Amino acid sequence: MKVVALVSGGLDSTVMLWKLRSEGHSIVPLTLLTFRRNPREIEAAKKISVVASGREPIVYDVSFLRELFDYPQHIKERVFQQFPTLPNIVIPYRNIIFYSVAAYVACLEEADAIAGGHTREDVERIPDVGKEFFTELENILNKYTPFHRIKILTPVAGLMKAEIIRLGIELGAPLQETWSCWSVFEKHCGKCPGCVSRREVFKSVGLEDRTEYLEG
């Protein structure tokens, strides 16, 4: 199949790309520039896309899309009172928007499917990444745009983060090229929440973390 894959430059979407490759799909990488998106992530997404698919990713500017973290205080307070476990980096309506853009690109590229790299942890804590959501969205996309058939694939959604790392290493994915740091230094800072969780996940599977950190 020809698959439009949403890539972020992070670990999960990179392993998803290598899983799609290992299944023999041809890949059209797509990355979306949201508000305050870390430029290091985009660089990583570009580098990884070229290796995975032989082409630069399609890059669309959607920088009007903010995470809840960047919403006005009174809105954030209301949302987190109601949904205390929701991560504040969630973009409202994110996946309806992202997957609709991916479907649009799929029509343009005559692709059969669109794909994203969600983990099982995501499925457990974020409402718009579950199986039910994607089944409904796939139905809506196909029903109301009847001249293009589309499938939604979430190849790593059944896996926990640690299992994704293991699969990535098994498939030879260039995990050291992915970007998890919240800063914009040349190398991963080693201290921010993104780096801390990256280090922990490699440690938890007992595998070598080849990331270069500024602080050891």
Candidate residues 59, 79, 192, 207; the one interacting with Zn ion per rule CB under 5 A:
192
Q: Tell me whether residue 129 or residue 181 sits nearer to Zn ion (CB atom).
A: 181
**If you ran DSSP here, which 8-state letter would residue 56 be given?**
P
The reply on whether position 44 binds Zn ion by CB under 5 A is: no
Look at residues 9, 5, 15, 3 and name the one whose alpha carbon lies nearest to residue 160. 15
Q: What's the CA gap between 46 and 128, in Å, rounded?
A: 26
From the CB of 213, what's the least distance to Zn ion, in Å? Answer: 8
The reply on whether position 214 binds Zn ion by CB under 5 A is: no
Candidate residues 79, 97, 107, 189; the one interacting with Zn ion per rule CB under 5 A:
189
Q: Which residues contact 93 (CB under 8 A, 6 or more apart)?
A: 128
Please list every residue from 123 through 182 that binds Zn ion, using CB under 5 A.
Answer: 181
From the CB of 208, what's the least distance to Zn ion, in Å? Answer: 19
From the CB of 200, what's the least distance to Zn ion, in Å? Answer: 13
From the CB of 81, what's the least distance to Zn ion, in Å? Answer: 30
Candidate residues 106, 141, 195, 201; the one interacting with Zn ion per rule CB under 5 A:
195
Phi-psi region of 36 (alpha: psi -120 to 50; beta: other; left: phi over 0): left
Q: Tell me whether residue 155 or residue 190 sits nearer to Zn ion (CB atom).
A: 190
Q: Where does residue 1 rank: exposed (0-12), middle (13-18), buried (19+ CB within 10 A)?
A: middle
